Amino acid sequence: MPKRLNIGTIIFPSSEEKIMELCESKKLIGYETEIIVRIYWHKQSLNYIADYMEFDKYGKPQKHYSVRSINNFHKEAFKKLLK
């Protein structure tokens, strides 16, 4: 059985610019913002993000990360959005 965050829900804005503004107001790091936009605006899967998103442009040591790592990055970013 998968673990759930159990920390609440959030209604995302209706445009990409507003999602970006929300992420900036919550002080998300660059790659966290891109993950949030890709998942909630572009509706991209974690597998697609793992294959095509380049993390090295955000100062991360690797160019690509696994689906599990991206899921963890997403969880941390989502927790920041709810604060």
pLDDT band at 83; cut points 50, 70, 90: confident
Predicted local distance difference test score (pLDDT) of residue 14: 82
Mean of the per-residue pLDDT values of the chain: 89
Question: Where along the chain do its domains lie?
Answer: 16-82
Look at residue 7 and tell me whether its pLDDT is greater than 70. Answer: no
Predicted local distance difference test score (pLDDT) of residue 36: 95
Query: DSSP string spanning 25-60?
Result: HTT--HHHHHHHHHHHTS---HHHHHHH---GGGT-
pLDDT in tens, 32-57: 999 999 999 999 999 999 999 999 99
